[in-house]
Amino acid sequence: MKFCIITDVSLEIPNGIASYVKNLKESFKLTDRDIFNVFELTNEEISYINENYSFVSLQVGILRSKTADGFKIQKLKKIKLKKIATIHSVVDEEVRLYRECMDTYFPTIEYPTNTVHGSSYEKFFLKLVDGLVFSTMKDFNIFKQYYNTPVRSKIIPPSIDSIQNFNYLSPLKKSKNAAFLGRVDYRKGILASLNSIEFLPELNYNIFGPIDTDNQHNKVILDHFKSKHKNIVYRGTLKDRQNYYDSHFIFFGNSLYEPFGFAHIENLFNNVVPIVGKETGTHEIFGQDYPFVVEDSVTDLVSMVKLIYSKDIYDIQTILDKAKDNLRHLTDTFFELNYLDYFNSFSI
């Protein structure tokens, strides 16, 4: 059974969807010819897809507007094959947290969202697909809170072989350097971590990651706390990963919503201690007995940081190694077998 990938992201962009697509490409030995960008999809390519593949793997992000994304949807409707979409995040949960941030911290400023969500998303995108793939049961359960679409679904955690097989071999060591690594965004727990620094003045808090130009409120939040605390430094996109893992001790991964948590896993396997948001898919895959877990609470986060520093380095390493063991089955082979088994089921 042969499939192609249709996506709306460039593989040159360092984000989760691009990483997922590249992993699919490598796992199934696909070529560049098997990957199509929906923005550039021509009628000739649509005919080629319909004639040469068994099904389509849809790897698209959140729909930002009915006008632009409607153009993409119309193209996808011309593809007559089964279309199975990976849900990289639940759009209504993203919108809920966006509105929570706006209503709480920017109540007098108009920050409209043009993200397609709710019943529009259900009619606009979900009715187009034949099957859904989720990375964790937690994310699937969040999805069910918003949508009643009776689309076949399966939990298939992605492979982490690229992380397991290529790490920076940095030893676990205590330092005063803590980090945030990822998109600077409210739903990543950035507000709680920035607030916590007032009570952790001994830390050097380095923030790595992009700031979405469409969501400048995140820059406003970051700039506010940078002006208050000199030990908060925004360092832009991470360029030297070896130095990052050699020099940092704790990773602030206290997301409010996180479907899977690739950054958490990469920090874990490189012995930077991840603090994990409690109600996340990351907590699920790390194991419910992983102890460095917090609610969305400054008090909780500060207490957790102090607890980690109070522990013996050997005890911390034991905890990290157990979490690594919980993840080691997430290999290319495990992913491939589950992925193909699911897609083969559509031909029965």
Whether residue 111 has pLDDT greater than 90: no
What pLDDT is recorded for position 149? 81
Q: What percent of the chain has pLDDT over 70?
A: 98
304-343: per-residue pLDDT in tens? 999 999 999 999 999 999 999 999 999 999 999 999 999 8
Average pLDDT over residues 154-177: 93
What pLDDT is recorded for position 190? 96
Residues 95 and 236 in one domain: no
Residues 6+ positions from 278 with CB-CB distance below 8 Å: 293, 294, 295
Q: Are strands 232-234 and 293-294 parallel, antiparallel or unpaired?
A: unpaired
Q: By residue range, what is the domain housing residue 56? A: 3-159+331-347
What pLDDT is recorded for position 27? 84
pLDDT bin (cut points 50, 70, 90) of residue 68 is low
Average pLDDT over residues 5-27: 84
Q: Cα dihedral angle (277, 283, 288, 291), rounded to 10 degrees?
A: -50
Q: CATH number of the domain that 171 lies in?
A: 3.40.50.2000
Q: Using alpha carbons only, how large is the chain's radius of gyration in Å? A: 21
Residues 270 and 311 in one domain: yes
Of 250 and 348, the one with more pLDDT = 250
Residues 311 and 342 in one domain: no
Average pLDDT over residues 247-265: 96
The pTM score is 0.93
Average pLDDT over residues 11-28: 83
Residues 124 and 65 in one domain: yes
Residues 140 and 254 in one domain: no
189-238: per-residue pLDDT in tens? 999 999 999 999 999 999 999 998 878 899 999 999 999 999 999 999 99
Residues 134 and 114 in one domain: yes
Overall number of domains in the chain: 2
Average pLDDT over residues 22-43: 90
Residues 179 and 285 in one domain: yes
**Could you give the CA distance from residue 209 to residue 211 in angstroms, rounded to a whole number?**
7
Residues 48 and 125 in one domain: yes
What does pLDDT average to over the chain?
92
Residues 6+ positions from 271 with CB-CB distance below 8 Å: 170, 171, 172, 245, 317, 320
237-250: per-residue pLDDT in tens? 999 999 999 999 99
- Give the range among 35-49, 55-69, 116-130, 178-192 with minimum mean pLDDT: 55-69
98-109: per-residue pLDDT in tens? 999 999 999 887
Under 8 Å between Cβ of 259 and 281: yes
Residues 30 and 130 in one domain: yes
Residues 146 and 248 in one domain: no
Average pLDDT over residues 111-139: 89
Q: CATH number of the domain that 24 lies in?
A: 3.40.50
Instruction: Count CA atoms closer than 13 A to 96's CA, side-chain side.
Output: 12
Residues 139 and 173 in one domain: no
Residues 7 and 135 in one domain: yes
Residues forming beta bridges with residue 207, ordered by sequence position: 180, 234
pLDDT bin (cut points 50, 70, 90) of residue 348 is low
What pLDDT is recorded for position 15? 75
289-310: per-residue pLDDT in tens? 999 999 999 999 999 999 999 9
What pLDDT is recorded for position 115? 86
